[in-house]
Structure 1
Amino acid sequence: MGNGAIGNRVGVGGIDTNQFVHAADGALMATDVYLPDRLPAPAIITRTPYGRSALLANGIGWARNGFVYIAQDVRGRYGSEGIWIPYHNERSDGRALVEWVGEQSWCDGNVILAGASYGSFTAWAAALAAPDLVRAVISEVPAAGMRQANFEPSGVLRLAEYVGWWTEHADGRTSRNGLSAQMLRSRPDLLRHLPVAEIGQHLWARLPHWWSTIDPDKSDKGKTATWEAEPGDQELARCALPSLHIGGWYDLFLPQTFHQWATVGSGCDPRPERGLVVGPWGHELSTPNSHSAGGREHGPESQLPLGRIQVDWISRVLAGGDASITKVFLMEGQRRRDHVSFALPEAQVPGSMEDEQWLDHWPASTGMLRLHATADGALSPTPPDQTAEHHFDYDPLDPFPSLPVHRDRAVLGARRDAVTFRSFPLTHPAAVAGSPTVRLSVHTTAPSADWIVRLVQRFDDGHALEITSGSAVTESSVRTLDVVLGATALVLHPGSRLELHVTSSDFPRLARNLNTGLDRYTTSATRTAIQTIHSGPVHGCFIELPVMEYQ
């Protein structure tokens, strides 16, 4: 439950901790139960690898609102028996808990699965294992599986995230919070080690499953295994359970929030009711003490009482009422205290919207704006009439560096291993709402290439902030590709410019392409490649922006 304890409709009847519930194989799962003072009641279940005691505020909040709350440590973590292998055993263990809860006298027969991050995965695992015993699912910032959590849609390993998470959480009964930051502060070049598959031998935690979890058969050369337990799109489409999906514009797993919202129940007739809430938040979601994220100030209206929203949504589901909800925050493009906006010529974008920051529908775009890369490095709505080639060298030993999304990207402006196309200053307010798509016409001297594409807002003072990004991997024979960038909803100010940045690395966020044609994870040799972006009237480069009118 976001924002911890909320409301005070009823009292907390009691908290029964350190219970042990049998899994299907007899292993004992440590479980805490929070009871309201009116029973029986609907039951909310969360299963977590991060310690059930951390969910104390959630449990009290649910109990105060008339729900039983059950928090359980997953297998092999904290108080639960067994060995934890991430993303394994969660279906059978989750079903066992659902069955146990349904048999208790304090449960009125209504069981709801809820969880954030890895807990979202355990919620869906249990719901899909026992759909007839579950009423609904609440999914927050979902780490939806080994592949989705650790690899880009392009298939490239999120190296820094993977190292950090494994160092602090994996191959252990308890977490080692803060260890990764201390380790990288002491050994800043650790992530540069090659081959990548051997980095686990140099971490400050003994991690015997560091690489076998990604490549259990040692036959896929570091590519993600297909995990039987991970919910597939067809399975989610057949799921007839109402679902509430909560995410943040600055959360790593936002694409999975949108994907689950779009997919769950899509194969059912009638389709179950869904809710979507997306705000200008990171992985921790709404934080009342801060209105800033991504280097932008979003104002107090950007924070929501997520606990109250979840309680109200579940109450409507149980009452058989309308449980459809959409709340998507339209971010303002200001750095600090400025307040401005962006819109397209009326002829290009039909329709209009009310001047509200929380949109009640998604997708929200009402038109598309195409900006073409030109020979002189501009982004223009007019197709170019000249062809040009834009070159840069990519050296895996000096990769283009990653920056946190809130950092000013102007500090990287002097690097020569990227190509930038820049629009003229905007003269009208405009809103980008959706997932931009970039068409690239490319060439590489390497056997394969990574293409990292980033949409950036450049302010009139030179400050630059990332809007969204995406990546693609191509073989040398590929000449044209489309790169879908992450979704956004952002109002841009007059006077600011849009920039398209193209490079071939984002390190250490992503594992490097070594330019040899050999596996990037298990080999060490590197070579420098010459990358080329073509602009022109036939085989050129452009970005298509989903836009909406903004008054």
Structure 2
Amino acid sequence: MELFTKQKLSMMVPMRDGIRLSCDIRFPDGDGPFPVVLERTPYNKALDLLSEEVGRWTSQGYAFVCQDCRGRHESEGVMEPMSQEILDGVDTVDWIARQDFCNGQVVMTGESYCGWTQLAAASTSPSALKAITPCVMNSEAMDSSFTTGGIIDTTPVWWLLLNTNRGQMADPVGDWDSFYKNLPINRLDETLGFEPMPAFREALDPATAVGYRKKREIFQGLETCDVPILLCVGWYDVFASGSMKDAAHLIQQKADCRVIAGPWGHSLATGTTCGDLDFGQGSMLDMKKLRNEFIAHHLKGTPLPTELGKPIHYFLMGSNVWKGADCWPPAESEEQSFFIDSVRSANSLFGDGMLSKKPPSGRASDEYQYDPLNPVPAIGGAWLSLHAPAGPMDQRPAERRDDVLCYTSDELLEPLDLAGIPRAELFVESSAVDTDFFVRLCEVYPDGRSMLVCDGGMSLRCRNGADRNEPNKPGECHLLRIELASTAIRIMPGHQLRVEITSSCFPRYVRNLNSATHPLEETESDAVIAEQTIHHSTGRPSKIILPVLNVP
């Protein structure tokens, strides 16, 4: 690759509080001024010197600016993840627009945290910001990655440990499965031998965690945002559901928003395989090209690519075709209820748990024990992990356990297309003052494979809201309304639907030790075995509600 001959490195750009952030700038051929592509990153801007994407931008006549976020690498200040990105983003866009090399038009690009920096800047609608293209990120990243119904995801645990110091840290753990068994969770910085890390402590201290997330909320700003947005997500990415909610609301508000949702994890369209399934060459899109064309449309008036003809361009897994929609869930999606039931018991895949449209008529409930010192293993899913694969994976190793209830439909006689947000309504009891419940939706293949489609969960203490903390009274029955992740899939004839219910998914989520102590502060001595009951009588009909497409 040719080295850049027109560039300015390590330019220090002042923010409104006097802190200076370091930028590298690469210029295209010609005298300018140029439209500018900006990427703001915590992952070391110097790495972009070798990026082919930079050359792609400059070859099309754009200047490219890459900036280290505050407190990272060459930039001054202290890294306070996400809270600083609104003002720093606005100040950087305004500074670029005033430079002689800029023609007054700035766009932004980047994935993951670099997607957050775009949404943060756009939430204030800077006049020079003409379009953003955030990938695998959403406006409520702190909520969607930190908690699922109040259950703590381990994604922010490792991210904060590795990314809040100045430099990029090598993996100090290796065996993360074992590492997450160290308790309490909110003192893992000390477990690694670090000095106490303020950002880590604030995010994971129950007394400050809710306020920490609220300080980083930007969705209200996006509601009135007039910056065109292209969101790119993978069905098996931890941020996917939040991205689809962002898109649904923005489109409803008549915002200029487009979405591409495909069969990927946190890495977009890097291959045809995700998890244990191959979705074929038709699943591949040139995401960089589509982002470039979206930006060119808003800066140069060129036509939008055909893939962005409708606001939402989504991949229907199973049929392995791309479809378009004007809203999310699609207008032709209708909710249908599937009830759980059993005759003897639904414990494990060897039980007789049933799933059908008929209301329950068999046994009134199923029971299992949840031992937090012997948790159900996480197998794939919408997981952002340093060491474990995401995606649709065979759940049978978990389903063989008696602490996993399995409810399986008859073989389908015709295709069943799902597109939207599945949700479960469970009538539950627990002997513990607090515990968790997880629901997984799987597709059972004729050869027996039980492939994860999507899942969701809820902490019993958060049954009336993720920010609430209401202990359970053993013996009380509660109706839990659990939202699963957005998905789009065709269940083929001869295949079956399966719903799993259990109380752990480790190490994807922090274990709930079933005590009165907050899960972030629990130690192994707090662990209690919980007796769990899932009701499915005529008076307490637990069910899953699926978004079924009513057209072929």
User: What do residues 489-547 of structure 1 show as CA deviations (whole Å, max 9, x unaligned)?
Assistant: 11122221111000111111111222222222223212111111111223111111111
CA contact (8 A) 2:172 2:192 kept: no
How many Å separate the matches in 2 of 1:44 and 1:192? 43
2:45 corresponding residue in structure 1: 52
Choose from 297, 309, 315 the match for 1:316. Answer: 297
Change (3 A) 1:508 1:112: same
1:36 corresponding residue in structure 2: 28
CA contact (8 A) 2:264 2:274 kept: yes
Choose from 363, 366, 380 the match for 1:404. Answer: 380
CA contact (8 A) 2:89 2:121 kept: yes
How many Å separate the matches in 2 of 1:308 and 1:468? 29
Question: Where do residues 484-523 of structure 1 align in structure 2 (5 Å cutoff)?
Answer: 484-523=483-522
Choose from 74, 83, 87 the match for 1:79. Answer: 74
Choose from 423, 428, 431 the match for 1:437. Answer: 423
- Paired residue type of 1:202: T
How many Å separate the matches in 2 of 1:221 and 1:308? 45
2:440 corresponding residue in structure 1: 454
User: What do residues 425-466 of structure 1 show as CA deviations (whole Å, max 9, x unaligned)?
Assistant: 112122111111111111111112311000011111111110
Task: Compare 194-203 and 297-306 and name the one that shifted more.
Answer: 194-203
User: What do residues 258-308 of structure 1 show as CA deviations (whole Å, max 9, x unaligned)?
Assistant: 1222234755xxx33111111111212121xx2100321111111111122
How many Å separate the matches in 2 of 1:266 and 1:229? 25
Task: Compare 106-115 and 492-501 and name the one that shifted more.
Answer: 106-115
> What's the offset of the Cα at 1:120?
1.5
How many Å separate the matches in 2 of 1:483 and 1:246? 25
CA contact (8 A) 2:123 2:219 kept: no
- Paired residue type of 1:233: F
How many Å separate the matches in 2 of 1:240 and 1:461? 50
2:279 corresponding residue in structure 1: 298
> What's the offset of the Cα at 1:72?
0.4
> How much identity, in percent, do the aligned residues show?
27
Change (3 A) 1:209 1:201: same
1:63 corresponding residue in structure 2: 58
In structure 2, runs of 5+ residues without a counterpart are 344-352, 382-391, 462-471
Change (3 A) 1:538 1:357: same
Task: Compare 237-246 and 16-25 and name the one that shifted more.
Answer: 16-25
Change (3 A) 1:398 1:498: same
How many Å separate the matches in 1 of 2:427 and 2:417? 27
CA contact (8 A) 1:449 1:513 kept: yes
Change (3 A) 1:403 1:65: same
2:134 corresponding residue in structure 1: 139
Are 1:391 and 2:364 matched, yes or no?
A: no
2:102 corresponding residue in structure 1: 107
CA contact (8 A) 1:167 1:179 kept: no
Change (3 A) 1:106 1:74: same
In structure 1, runs of 5+ residues without a counterpart are 6-10, 334-340, 342-354
- Paired residue type of 1:490: I
> What's the offset of the Cα at 1:319?
4.6
Question: Where do residues 2-17 of structure 1 align in structure 2 (5 Å cutoff)?
Answer: 14-17=6-9
Choose from 281, 284, 288 the match for 1:307. Answer: 288
Q: CA RMSD in A?
A: 2.6
TM-score normalised by L of structure 2: 0.85
2:183 corresponding residue in structure 1: 194
SS at the partner of 1:214?
helix
How many Å separate the matches in 1 of 2:214 and 2:435? 31
2:172 corresponding residue in structure 1: 179
How many Å separate the matches in 2 of 1:533 and 1:369? 21
2:549 corresponding residue in structure 1: 548
Equivalent pairs counted in the alignment come to 508
Choose from 165, 168, 174 the match for 2:162. Answer: 168
CA contact (8 A) 1:247 1:279 kept: yes
Task: Compare 467-476 and 368-377 and name the one that shifted more.
Answer: 368-377
- Paired residue type of 2:411: P
CA contact (8 A) 1:78 1:174 kept: yes
- Paired residue type of 2:535: H
Task: Compare 526-535 and 368-377 and name the one that shifted more.
Answer: 368-377
Are 1:23 and 2:6 matched, yes or no?
A: no
1:154 corresponding residue in structure 2: 149
Change (3 A) 1:296 1:381: same
How many Å separate the matches in 1 of 2:217 and 2:107? 18
CA contact (8 A) 1:120 1:144 kept: no
> What's the offset of the Cα at 1:222?
6.4
1:359 corresponding residue in structure 2: 324
How many Å separate the matches in 1 of 2:410 and 2:477? 31
SS at the partner of 1:58?
helix
Choose from 392, 413, 416 the match for 1:427. Answer: 413
How many Å separate the matches in 2 of 1:328 and 1:548? 16
CA contact (8 A) 2:143 2:213 kept: no
How many Å separate the matches in 1 of 2:159 and 2:288? 27
CA contact (8 A) 1:14 1:34 kept: yes
How many Å separate the matches in 2 of 1:425 and 1:162? 39
Task: Compare 292-301 and 468-477 and name the one that shifted more.
Answer: 468-477
Change (3 A) 1:223 1:191: same
